[in-house]
Amino acid sequence: MRNRSSQSTSRADRRSLVCNLLEMPVGCYGPGMTTLRPRPGAGTAVDAPEPLYSLDVMNQDDVPEVSRVERRCFANPWPASAYRRELQNPGQNFYVVVRESLVTARKSNSESEEPKETNVDGSMAPVKPVPRRALLPISLGRRQDSGGQQRPAIIGFAGMWLAFDEAHVTTIGVDPTRRGQGLGELLLLCMFDEALNRGANWLTLEVRVTNAAAQALYRKYGFSTHGTRKRYYSDNNEDALIMWSPALNDPEFRATLESRRIALERRLGGRIEPDGLSPFSDSMRRTQSP
Ligand SMILES: CC(C)(COP(=O)(O)OP(=O)(O)OC[C@H]1O[C@@H](n2cnc3c(N)ncnc32)[C@H](O)[C@@H]1OP(=O)(O)O)[C@@H](O)C(=O)NCCC(=O)NCCS
């Protein structure tokens, strides 16, 4: 991944740059750390907030928030100006953000977790599950963009450069409080999908030798190590592993990617906004099928 201490913009320079990335200690990883806790009074009839995630192409309005999350992810984050420059070149770059809104779902204190509605006689009757996009968004954590529109808070981001048949993943990060629930995978899957859309045949990246969490994520998606860059990270002279994905046009890998996609969709349990960028949309599935 890209060196965060240099602001050179030439592609040749970029390739030789280092990525000063901060990994979370492995011990910090755990679903318990990231799941929303029940509100006081859970178990009674309450509007329980649930997270709903949406993926968007990053734009200039997002930069201050991305920088905020980045500072929580990396020891030496990019300056906002680096993102602003990157976003001026969407033909060669692709940057996305994941947002989180909280939506309410009416819960009852019976065994059933299904949303309920009131009958005309006042009794409670089960209803069909409410489509998540129809649930009521809560204003918590929402931000205003330059057009005055309310946008849910950014909790993760990823990006890559594309050149010829290679896609070079430059950054990926998830807010520390939201890790361990599949959002890193979601972002990486988004990189794979866009790389395929743009005709790339490989994904590559650099990662600190001690960044066990990120390496595990990449290995889960078929990346393997093809060398090291000695003393690659300028902050502590740490080595980088150079990792490459399998060939994206390999039918076996495409089948693996699809099975990962299905497993992730199950894991995220429909908590992805279907109207935005979604690796689980039917159109994406049709495009990406081997
Ligand atoms: C790397 C990072 C993006 C992963 O995000 P995440 O949302 O926590 O990851 P996910 O929940 O999607 O995890 C997907 C897989 O990654 C691996 N993984 C993620 N965190 C891990 C950890 N702490 N320890 C071991 N494996 C981990 C696992 O294989 C996991 O799959 P599993 O749930 O089936 O075990 C996140 O840890 C991060 O932002 N780190 C700081 C920034 C960074 O280092 N970026 C990478 C730069 S090269």
**CATH code (residue 186):** 3.40.630.30
Question: Cβ(179) to ligand 1 under 6 A?
Answer: yes
Asked if residue 94 is part of any domain, the answer here is yes
> In which element (H, E) is residue 170 found?
strand 166-174
How many Å apart are CA 28 and CA 272, to the nearest integer?
A: 25
How many Å apart are CA 230 and CA 22, to the nearest integer?
A: 17
Question: DSSP assignment, residue 4?
Answer: S
- Number of Cβ within a 10 Å radius of residue 224: 11
Question: DSSP assignment, residue 130?
Answer: P
Q: Is the pLDDT of residue 111 over 70?
A: no
* pLDDT on residue 21: 36
pTM: 0.79
Asked if residue 207 is part of any domain, the answer here is yes
Q: How many domains does the structure of the chain reveal?
A: 1
Asked if residue 6 is part of any domain, the answer here is no
Pocket test for ligand 1, best of 179, 189, 223 (most atoms within 8 A of CB): 179
* pLDDT on residue 24: 35
Asked if residue 80 is part of any domain, the answer here is yes
Pocket test for ligand 1, best of 169, 217, 242 (most atoms within 8 A of CB): 217
Asked if residue 95 is part of any domain, the answer here is yes
Structural Rg of the chain based on CA atoms: 20
Question: Cβ(1) to ligand 1 under 6 A?
Answer: yes
How many Å apart are CA 261 and CA 289, to the nearest integer?
A: 11
Asked if residue 131 is part of any domain, the answer here is yes
Asked if residue 5 is part of any domain, the answer here is no
pLDDT tens per residue across span 8-24: 333 333 333 333 333 33
How many Å apart are CA 37 and CA 30, to the nearest integer?
A: 14
Asked if residue 195 is part of any domain, the answer here is yes
How many Å apart are CA 24 and CA 173, to the nearest integer?
A: 10
The catalytic residues are 206, 218
pLDDT tens per residue across span 131-168: 444 444 444 456 666 666 778 999 999 999 999 999 99
Q: Using CA positions, which residue lies closest to atom 19 of ligand 1?
A: 213
Full residue range of the structural domain in which residue 126 is found: 11-36+46-288
The residues, any chain, with a CB within 8 Å of residue 63's CB and separated by 6 or more, are 80, 83, 84, 87
Give Cα 205 distance to the centre of its chain: 16
Q: Using CA positions, which residue lies closest to atom 30 of ligand 1?
A: 217
Lowest mean pLDDT segment, chosen from 2-6, 137-141, 187-191, 240-244:
137-141
User: Mean pLDDT for the chain?
Assistant: 78
Phi, psi (degrees; rounded to nearest 5) at 259: -70, -35
